[in-house]
Structure 1
Amino acid sequence: MDEVMVDIELQTGDDQNHDYQQQQQTTARRKQEPIIFGKADHHVTLKFEDVAYKIRLGGGGVLIKNQVEEKTILKGVSGVVRPGEMLAMLGPSGSGKTTLLNALGGRLGTGQFTGKITFNDQKFTNSMKRNIGFVTQEEAFYPHLTVTETLVFSALLRLSNRLKKEEKMAHVDAVIAQLHLKKCENTIIGDQFLKGVSGGERKRVGIGQEMLINPSILFLDEPTSGLDSTTAQRIVSTLWELANGGGRTIVMTIHQPSSRLFYLFHKVLLLSEGNLVYFGKGSDAMSYFSRIGYVPLIATNPADFLLDLANGILPDASEDHPRFVKHALVVAFKNNLAENLRAVVQVTENDFHNKSEEKKRFGRWSTTWWQQFTVLLRRGVKEKRHETFSGIQFAEVLGVALLSGLLWWQTDGSNVQDKVGLLFSIVSFWGFYPLYRSIFTFPQERAMLEKDRLSGMYKLSSYFMARTVGDMPMELVLPTIFVTIVYWMAGLKPTVPNFFGTLLATLLCVMVSSGLGLALGAMVMDQKSASTLGSILVLLFILAGGYYVQHVPRFISWIKYVSFIQYTYKLLLNSQFKSQDTYPCGSGKTCLVVDFPSVKVVGLENPAMSVVVLMTMVVGYRVIAYIALMRI
């Protein structure tokens, strides 16, 4: 690889010298390559014909309606990329490069799409995405996982069951070696708040994740963006090797490549405001524009020259309006290149293997549901271990527990008001606290979930169950510690059944609260909006819980029936009081606890129904969260 890099440094724009250096690069490659960096499993020819895409803008809200505008992003773009070729899509910002890349990779959002995209003359299907590599511009990673851990979990999820675990680890080692990640293999990925690998290393990790499956076609969105020229050169050189030596089809968008990078591209596509103004060999681009009358006055980077033209800027800096220049480029393309390109695109490919065999290969998942669940569970625990075992959370819960215990220290058994107040404070705290921990789960992981799901890495159900099970231990440990401290400090009934009745009621409350947080986070997917909505709902449930308001108007009394606070409060009351219990209510008089105002409104009868309702909420809120996640 070092010899390859030296050859690339000496490369010039001369076509003959370029071809010679490519031959030298291929010769200099290591004789014994890792298997995944050899030939691709099968070759794929990508064709796209008359691709157009429109979106609707405006519309406004419920009260204010704005005029709906239709914007055309792509305007009849065509092209073909064959095995062993690397296509670079160039154009100014907003020209439609990323939209075209997303269209080719089957990742377009809502909008009106027309045209034809085929892989070996077959239409794209959702099952194909598990065998196609796609590297986004801003790759999403778990910041606390190391480079090796990131690649290992991807290998365990994406590589076939036909491979043994040792073989999958060999693939990871091969990726690390080939992409020069050895020196940072044990470094965490990091993010904007956590120092980790460099930008270039981060890009290579993203490429490595896709290369693990040995894709026949690889899409990349600006893989050199934000990198220095040396790092960009290394990444593009590696991609050139994967295409030229492995027979892969590689398509990338790139903003402003250097001249050295430009001459590595087998083909170049140039867009201007969604219009195709050039498609052909990279080495022929300058001669084509010279033939139609656009010649640079001085030696210049071909990519800079093409981008100037796409922006409507002429080499002689004349005063021609950019709109006229762009129109002239589109007309020139239609007159000189469009017909030949259309003929090439419409040629039927005959190198596809067995269509039924290929369909079967694309159609199956790489791993079983249980394997996905166990790997995702391990990955989630590793990523969340810094939160799960956070000293801050222990300190928060411990502090509230000790403060509550001191405030209600050894409460007199006859003081029903204080005991009821303690029980309601427990349900209020554990109605809020778990919700705020879980409400951010899916909004924070949305980017990772979208990335993995678009790659067809695992089923949504396996992810959801792994996420739920992984969070469960800490959700139950903290309230158990809290109840254990408060219960004995406050002097509640010192019997085992009463203690466990209080504990189990609190744990049910925690599971319902966390489920509600998951559901709100999954439905809203915005942290601020979800937390605001969660605060309002829980506050409403607390007010309707039977402690603060004893006489709720009939027209709004239905709220108490959906309040998990009320059902938990009822179970906590049952854990400390029986219907025949009494308390001193005056000079020499006793009253039934069941008639105490804060107890009477809720009652002590039929606690089993409260358990059933809370268990239904535990499951129901999580089902809602799962259904909401199906949108991704």
Structure 2
Amino acid sequence: MDSSTDNDIEMAPVPTAHLANDIVTDFAWRQMQVTVKDRQSGKPKNILSDVAGLVEAGDMLAIMGPSGSGKTTLLNALAHRVAAAGAHTTGQILTNGQKSNMTMIRDLSAYVEQDDALIGSITVKETMMFAARLSLPSNVTRKEAMRRVDDLISSFGLQEQAHTVVGTPIKKGLSGGQKKRLGVASRLVTNPKILFLDEPTSGLDSALSAEVIRYIKDIAKRNKLVVISSIHQPSTTTYQLFDKLALLSMGETCYFGPVNDAPDYFHRIGYHMPAATNPAEFFLDLINIDLDKNGEVRERTRDVIEQWKKSPERAALDAEIEKAVTTPSKTDLSKLKLPKPSPWMVPVTLLHRSWIKAYRDVVAYEIRIVMYLGLAILMGTVFLRLKSSQEYIQPFINAIFFGGAFMSFMAVAYVPAFLEDLQTFHMERANGLVGPLAFNVSNFLIGLPFLFLITVIFSVVEYWLTGFRANGSAFMMYLLWLFLDLLAAESLVVLVTSIFPIFVVALAITAFANGLWMVVDGFLVPMNILNAFWKYVFHYIDYQAYVFQGMMVNELKDRDYTCPQTPGGGYQCMYAGPLNSEGKMRGVDILKQFNIETGLEGTWVGIMIGIIFGYRLLAYLALRLKK
């Protein structure tokens, strides 16, 4: 479709009565107050005080103010999100004059984060389609969803990039402005009537900022959206695209009203804006207490706040809000029963998206496959063709230990890929689209084939080069233990990263945990001499211990080793056993020295599955408890 026709394209409405274009006529708030505990005094501290405003359908509101003025706090409070850590929010939020609750706002609105978590390895059209499938009700047909997606892509000028990936650190994709547009478009796919934008132009130059806001304004006007956006230091062009301005400082209102009326208002209260000045810069400089050196700016800002409280504009605003309350819409928004996607659609969609991401994302699996293949070649050539004589016993045991331990240790490479998934989950969860259970289940299931492929590639190379038992069933058991090892290691990564979603912290804690498991798994210090504390507190929950034991039994229980002959004609055997007189040692005699029993493999497999499930359950609970 030619881009010249963009302005004639309208978003195809979702065929649901509650999403008629006039369902939201206005959105208002009054007496908004957000209180936190002061870190120094421990007393309550207002970070937002007595804030009021009203935005009509089709209008765009810019929330402006210097850093720390309360822009994002107000935006989050209006969207019924956590306004700030440990905050208590009070006040009235009204839609069509009716008191709004979190369920109503979530159903009627969409929230676009400052750094919207787009998945870099999927295309623009796929991003839109997945957003549609996660949020559109079950009565919307695939054809209708596709039409809506195509219309939105056209409306935001992304037709030529429809089949372009968003972009990863390795593969270039969309520009910054295109990503911002895609982030907004993906939230509009459900035809929300209220759109919250947190710094939609951050990281963009003035031209791209104006471009993004212009697209949003066009959509808002044609579809009668209420758009509320926090914005920092906009250019003159970008600023003038907004209809209304909410100017904040020190958590209080300095001005609320039409953008074009703001210069006259400030001139009237004694603050004249020079000609050829960017209004946004003038207003922000006027009330930016960060630049205060002698108290002058703070005193001036306090004067601006007090004059606003006494102004006829504030009185008119209060009257407008009161009128909306006394003459509410006939439609009771609180009783709307909004259709949802089918219960199975969310996990199926997450699985589909994760599958595409997994096989395209070089960082998630391709680099890891190369890493594990390199490790297999390294180990296979170091422990090359070990024989069944006594001097090769320790190298065999070393090869068993290092194979399992380093396979699990290298799972830390999954941290960056899971962090990207986690950011997407948090964004979608905040918009009411995805829950922690569906996210965890899809993440686990989609990893199974890739982890099995890694296990096969490593085992085929390392097992036969090293010279482990040349037996098909023994090889399959080795494969099983390594697969369970990788599953447990990746589940540990998921758990740690869910609790500590910071790259360096997650990497350090996961590496430390794997180092701990190596130390207490029974190889470096045999179980019969391992300190009781480490044995009873950590060894029995160490998945590497069960992998090591399982691999040892698999290799040694049905194998004999030869002992060197002494000059006197006898044999010198390292491990005592009934075959020493024949110059042989049984593998089970070696196992006894490590306190490893045979016949418990089924129990160990069950414990491994329990540990994997436990890690995943704890990860689910960690996400469930996080708001």
Shorter-chain TM-score: which interval? Answer: 0.7 to 0.9
Map of 1:112-511 to 2, 5 A cutoff? 112-120=88-96, 121-126=98-103, 128-190=105-167, 194-298=171-275, 300-311=277-288, 321-336=296-311, 337-347=313-323, 348=325, 349-355=327-333, 357-358=335-336, 360-361=337-338, 364-365=339-340, 367-384=341-358, 385-387=360-362, 392-415=367-390, 416-434=393-411, 436-511=412-487
Q: Does 1:55 align with 2:49?
A: no
User: Cα offset for 1:82?
Assistant: 2.1
Determine the C-alpha separation between the residues in 2 that align with 1:547 and 1:193. Answer: 39
Any conservation in 2 of the 1:388–1:474 contact (CA below 8 Å)?
no
Determine the C-alpha separation between the residues in 1 that align with 2:281 and 2:196. Answer: 23
Determine the C-alpha separation between the residues in 2 that align with 1:241 and 1:591. Answer: 82
Provide Cα deviations, 1:117-141, integer angstroms capped at 9, x if missing partner.
2323132214642441222222221
Determine the C-alpha separation between the residues in 2 that align with 1:267 and 1:55. Answer: 28
Partner residue in 2 for 1:575:
554
User: Cα offset for 1:225?
Assistant: 3.8
Provide Cα deviations, 1:386-432, integer angstroms capped at 9, x if missing partner.
32796543443233223323333332224333333322222222232
Q: Judging changes above 3 Å, is the alpha-carbon distance between structure 1 residues 607 and 345 closer, same or farther for their aligned structure 2 residues?
A: same
Partner residue in 1 for 2:541:
562
Partner residue in 2 for 1:84:
58
Partner residue in 2 for 1:621:
615
Determine the C-alpha separation between the residues in 2 that align with 1:115 and 1:146. Answer: 42
Any conservation in 2 of the 1:256–1:304 contact (CA below 8 Å)?
yes
Counterpart amino acid of residue 374 in structure 1: V
Provide Cα deviations, 1:511-565, integer angstroms capped at 9, x if missing partner.
1222122111212222222222222222222222222212113343213211212
User: Cα offset for 1:173?
Assistant: 0.9
Counterpart amino acid of residue 104 in structure 1: L
Determine the C-alpha separation between the residues in 2 that align with 1:207 and 1:254. Answer: 15
Provide Cα deviations, 1:31-71, integer angstroms capped at 9, x if missing partner.
x634249962622522211112233464xxxxxxx765765
Counterpart amino acid of residue 197 in structure 1: L
- SS of 1:457's equivalent? coil
CA RMSD of aligned residues (A): 3.2
Counterpart amino acid of residue 317 in structure 2: L
Corresponding pairs, count: 592
Partner residue in 1 for 2:531:
553
Partner residue in 2 for 1:74:
48
Partner residue in 1 for 2:577:
none
- Consecutive unaligned residues in structure 1, runs of 5 or more: 6-27, 59-65, 314-318
Determine the C-alpha separation between the residues in 1 that align with 2:414 and 2:288. Answer: 48
Any conservation in 2 of the 1:276–1:333 contact (CA below 8 Å)?
yes
Determine the C-alpha separation between the residues in 2 that align with 1:306 and 1:216. Answer: 30
Any conservation in 2 of the 1:92–1:307 contact (CA below 8 Å)?
yes
Q: Judging changes above 3 Å, is the alpha-carbon distance between structure 1 residues 421 and 50 closer, same or farther for their aligned structure 2 residues?
A: same
Determine the C-alpha separation between the residues in 2 that align with 1:353 and 1:449. Answer: 33
User: Cα offset for 1:620?
Assistant: 1.0
Counterpart amino acid of residue 452 in structure 1: E
User: Cα offset for 1:491?
Assistant: 2.7
- TM, length-normalised to structure 2: 0.86
Which of 587, 593, 604 does residue 598 from structure 2 map onto? 604
Q: Does 1:42 align with 2:17?
A: no
Determine the C-alpha separation between the residues in 1 that align with 2:450 and 2:169. Answer: 27
Higher mean alpha-carbon deviation, 501-510 vs 589-598, is at 589-598
Provide Cα deviations, 1:430-465, integer angstroms capped at 9, x if missing partner.
23223x134444433332221111111223222222
- SS of 2:66's equivalent? coil
Counterpart amino acid of residue 47 in structure 1: A
- SS of 1:530's equivalent? helix
Any conservation in 2 of the 1:583–1:593 contact (CA below 8 Å)?
no
- TM, length-normalised to structure 1: 0.85
Map of 1:517-596 to 2, 5 A cutoff? 517-550=493-526, 551-558=529-536, 559-578=538-557, 584=563, 585=573, 588-596=582-590
Q: Judging changes above 3 Å, is the alpha-carbon distance between structure 1 residues 338 and 508 closer, same or farther for their aligned structure 2 residues?
A: same
Q: Judging changes above 3 Å, is the alpha-carbon distance between structure 1 residues 278 and 599 closer, same or farther for their aligned structure 2 residues?
A: same
- SS of 1:53's equivalent? strand
Q: Judging changes above 3 Å, is the alpha-carbon distance between structure 1 residues 275 and 599 closer, same or farther for their aligned structure 2 residues?
A: same
Determine the C-alpha separation between the residues in 2 that align with 1:411 and 1:520. Answer: 38
Counterpart amino acid of residue 141 in structure 1: L
Any conservation in 2 of the 1:370–1:462 contact (CA below 8 Å)?
no
Any conservation in 2 of the 1:40–1:215 contact (CA below 8 Å)?
no
Q: Judging changes above 3 Å, is the alpha-carbon distance between structure 1 residues 544 and 300 closer, same or farther for their aligned structure 2 residues?
A: closer
Q: Judging changes above 3 Å, is the alpha-carbon distance between structure 1 residues 278 and 166 closer, same or farther for their aligned structure 2 residues?
A: same
- SS of 1:118's equivalent? strand
Determine the C-alpha separation between the residues in 1 that align with 2:298 and 2:378. Answer: 71
User: Cα offset for 1:97?
Assistant: 1.5
Which of 484, 488, 513 does residue 512 from structure 1 map onto? 488
Q: Judging changes above 3 Å, is the alpha-carbon distance between structure 1 residues 216 and 593 closer, same or farther for their aligned structure 2 residues?
A: same
- SS of 2:223's equivalent? coil
Any conservation in 1 of the 2:106–2:432 contact (CA below 8 Å)?
yes
- Consecutive unaligned residues in structure 2, runs of 5 or more: 564-572, 574-579
Any conservation in 2 of the 1:439–1:520 contact (CA below 8 Å)?
no
Provide Cα deviations, 1:585-632, integer angstroms capped at 9, x if missing partner.
267454443332774422224222212111111211111111112215
Any conservation in 2 of the 1:179–1:238 contact (CA below 8 Å)?
yes
- SS of 2:179's equivalent? helix
Q: Judging changes above 3 Å, is the alpha-carbon distance between structure 1 residues 76 and 429 closer, same or farther for their aligned structure 2 residues?
A: same
Q: Judging changes above 3 Å, is the alpha-carbon distance between structure 1 residues 35 and 593 closer, same or farther for their aligned structure 2 residues?
A: closer
Counterpart amino acid of residue 563 in structure 1: D
- SS of 1:549's equivalent? coil
Provide Cα deviations, 1:270-315, integer angstroms capped at 9, x if missing partner.
11222112112223323322332333353544333333333379xx
